């Protein structure tokens, strides 16, 4: 199964794949095509950037015959509106020679009426966020009894967003006899639970284990004293417009996103997105960045994950992510589909243990760059740097979850030590929890611990 011809896909699909310029199937596409086409329940563990969307779309479209029936036969659920839009686009790109009616539905000001109208007009594939799909099903406009295939994309984010109840509610409307297809970047106990509850003997394929950095990404790091020094360093680096022509900057919090947007010197060249921004703003920001109108996009993890933007030259982790897996997700935004990319990580002394946790997970020490001459080390401290311990910024409600090694009393003396053999992330977790757990499970373990109390 090394070529798309080996898949024996119909000519109309093959022509579209050729038009897209895809030369051969990616590993996840090779792994999933036959199993999904055979009708088995399927779980794919694959990151964004591996070609996972096409991996489920190809067999689904191969199996979809022309029909005039009004009710959809395929339901794809995705956690964010951005991802819904992107999946619809991918379907459209794959079906210019096929007669497929696809509709994307998601929340947002005043679009439910047009979505209702489109549904009544008849659709084959519905792509939507759980809340909107549920609302439409509840109002009886959307009839889900004809669904033959259910795809849940980015299951781990979905469950992290707290969509489990919505998912279960939607399942109530679906026929019991259906094919379930799930894709997740990480395995977590919640994904496991969902699989146990709703899937029948699923075929499971794992591609690009989340601890394995993509080889096409050059990684670098800078030890930085504090927030304002990071701003100075970033202003210095981004002044080189050739080297940094499409830069995605990850920050840990909305506050950092907004503050950084104010402090960087690049005005109209920048956009910012986080979950506190209106949908319209987010869509425009992504469009501007994707089209190259803006060179720099500042984003938080959850909102940026799943967004497919081509040719990002550099991913900068302005804040070291609290959960090591998020670093892998971040850097996966560059070096995509055969291109080379660069990742730069900034870490303050407080964040250094987090960087070490990332290195433990990857079994790779990120090369350190010297502090560039002429860049000022700031003495001013940001409010959150003043005598407060570091918080898990990506999941503020889960304060007790600290990866092992993330003690915030150990400080910069550690930086100057020669590198010693690193414990893997799973070893550390094993020590901590006394049993082997998978990457990505720690939030759930913490929750389970809390529940037991
Ligand atoms: P995804 O992991 O689904 O977000 O896909 C990442 C990117 O890879 C998308 O821009 C796809 O269009 C692209 N892509 C998917 N499959 C292939 C392939 N077989 N060859 C080249 N690019 C691909």
Q: What is the pLDDT of residues 251-274, one digit of tens each?
A: 988 899 999 999 999 998 999 988
Residue 188 — pLDDT band, cuts 50, 70, 90? low
Ligand 1 close to Cβ of residue 87 (< 6 A)? no
* Cα-to-centroid distance, 127 and ligand 1 (Å): 18
* Cα-to-centroid distance, 25 and ligand 1 (Å): 9
* Cα-to-centroid distance, 337 and ligand 1 (Å): 6
* Between 300 and 222, residue with greater pLDDT: 222
Ligand 1 close to Cβ of residue 97 (< 6 A)? no
Ligand 1 close to Cβ of residue 30 (< 6 A)? no
* Between 114 and 440, residue with greater pLDDT: 114
Query: Cα separation of 254 and 200, whole Å?
Result: 40
Question: Which range, of 49-53, 109-113, 277-281, 406-410, averages the lowest pLDDT?
Answer: 406-410
The b/e string for 164-198 (b: 16+ C-beta within 10 A; e otherwise) is: bebbebbbebbeeebbbbbbbbbbbbbbeebbeeb
Ligand 1 close to Cβ of residue 49 (< 6 A)? yes
* Cα-to-centroid distance, 342 and ligand 1 (Å): 19
Residue 388 — pLDDT band, cuts 50, 70, 90? low
Ligand 1 atom nearest to CA at 50:
2
* Cα-to-centroid distance, 50 and ligand 1 (Å): 6
Q: Which domains does the chain have, with CATH numbers?
A: 4-206 (3.40.50.300), 217-382 (3.40.50.300)
Report the percent of the chain where pLDDT is more than 70. 79
Ligand 1 close to Cβ of residue 208 (< 6 A)? no
Which of the listed residues 18, 20, 51 should we mutate to test ligand 1's pocket, taking the one with most ligand atoms within 8 A of CB?
51
CA R_g for the chain: 22
Three-class secondary structure of residue 216 per DSSP? coil
Residue 302 — pLDDT band, cuts 50, 70, 90? low
| Protein residue closest via CA to atom 21 of ligand 1 | 22
Given this model, what pLDDT does residue 400 score? 36
| Protein residue closest via CA to atom 14 of ligand 1 | 51
Given this model, what pLDDT does residue 446 score? 46
Q: Are 124 and 101 in contact (CB under 8 A)?
A: yes
Ligand 1 close to Cβ of residue 333 (< 6 A)? no
Q: Are 248 and 273 in contact (CB under 8 A)?
A: no
Residue 396 scores a pLDDT above 80: no
Ligand 1 close to Cβ of residue 44 (< 6 A)? no
The whole-model pTM stands at 0.59
Residue 441 — pLDDT band, cuts 50, 70, 90? very low
Question: Which residue, 162, 170, 179, is CA-closest to 37?
Answer: 179
Three-class secondary structure of residue 323 per DSSP? coil
| Protein residue closest via CA to atom 10 of ligand 1 | 308
Question: Which residue, 187, 186, 184, 112, is CA-closest to 142?
Answer: 112
Question: Which residue, 49, 51, 47, 63, is CA-closest to 155?
Answer: 47
Given this model, what pLDDT does residue 392 score? 52
Across the range 330-340, mean pLDDT stands at 74
Question: Which residue, 307, 299, 276, is CA-closest to 81?
Answer: 307
User: Over the chain, what is the mean pLDDT?
Assistant: 82
**How many other CB atoms sit within 10 Å of the CB of residue 6?**
12
Q: Are 394 and 329 in contact (CB under 8 A)?
A: no
Ligand 1 close to Cβ of residue 392 (< 6 A)? no
Ligand 1 atom nearest to CA at 306:
4
Q: Where are the strands (E) in 99-246, listed by range?
A: 102-105, 125-128, 149-152, 179-184, 203-206, 217-223
Contacts for 314 with CB less than 8 Å, ≥ 6 apart? 243, 244, 246, 247, 248, 334, 341, 342, 343, 344
**How many other CB atoms sit within 10 Å of the CB of residue 150?**
22
* Cα-to-centroid distance, 255 and ligand 1 (Å): 33
**How many other CB atoms sit within 10 Å of the CB of residue 255?**
15
């Amino acid at each position: 199964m090394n070529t798309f011809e080996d898949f024996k896909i119909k000519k109309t699909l093959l022509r579209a794949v050729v038009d897209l310029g895809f030369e051969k199937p990616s590993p996840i596409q090779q792994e999933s095509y036959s199993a999904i086409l055979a009708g088995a329940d399927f779980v794919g563990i694959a990151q964004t950037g591996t070609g996972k969307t096409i991996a489920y779309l190809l067999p689904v479209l191969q199996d979809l015959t022309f029909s005039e029936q009004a009710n959809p036969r395929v339901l794809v659920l995705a956690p964010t509106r951005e991802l819904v839009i992107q999946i619809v686009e991918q379907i459209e790109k794959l079906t210019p020679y096929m007669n497929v009616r696809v509709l994307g539905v998601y929340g947002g000001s005043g679009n439910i009426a047009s979505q209702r109208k489109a549904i009544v007009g008849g659709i084959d594939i519905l792509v939507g966020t759980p809340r909107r799909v549920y609302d439409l099903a509840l109002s009886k406009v959307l009839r889900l009894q004809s669904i033959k295939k259910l795809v849940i994309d980015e299951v781990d984010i979905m469950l992290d967003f707290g969509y489990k109840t919505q998912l279960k509610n939607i399942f109530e409307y679906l026929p019991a006899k259906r094919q379930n297809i799930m894709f997740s970047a990480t395995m977590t106990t919640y994904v496991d639970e969902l699989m146990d509850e709703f899937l029948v003997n699923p075929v499971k394929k794992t591609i690009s284990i989340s601890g394995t950095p993509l080889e096409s990404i050059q990684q670098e790091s800078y030890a930085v004293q504090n927030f304002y020094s990071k701003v100075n360093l970033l202003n210095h680096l981004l002044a080189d417009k050739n080297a940094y022509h499409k830069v995605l900057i990850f920050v840990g919090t909305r506050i950092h996103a907004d503050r950084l947007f104010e402090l960087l010197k690049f005005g109209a060249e920048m956009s910012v997105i986080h979950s506190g921004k209106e949908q319209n703003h987010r869509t425009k920001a992504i469009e501007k960045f994707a089209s190259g109108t803006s060179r720099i996009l500042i984003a938080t993890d959850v909102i940026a994950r799943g967004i497919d933007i081509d040719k990002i030259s550099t991913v900068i982790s302005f804040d070291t992510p609290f959960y090591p897996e998020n670093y892998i997700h971040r850097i996966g935004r560059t070096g995509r589909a055969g291109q080379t990319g660069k990742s730069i990580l900034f870490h303050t002394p407080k964040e250094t243990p987090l960087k070490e946790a990332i290195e433990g997970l990857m079994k790779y020490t990120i090369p350190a760059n010297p502090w560039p001459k002429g860049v000022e080390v700031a003495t001013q401290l940001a409010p959150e740097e003043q005598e407060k311990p570091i918080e898990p910024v990506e999941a503020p409600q889960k304060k007790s979850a600290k990866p092992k090694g993330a003690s915030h009393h150990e400080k910069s003396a550690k930086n100057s030590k020669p590198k010693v053999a690193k414990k893997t992330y799973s070893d550390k977790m094993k020590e901590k929890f006394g049993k082997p757990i998978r990457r990505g499970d720690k939030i759930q373990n913490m929750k389970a611990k809390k529940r037991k109390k």
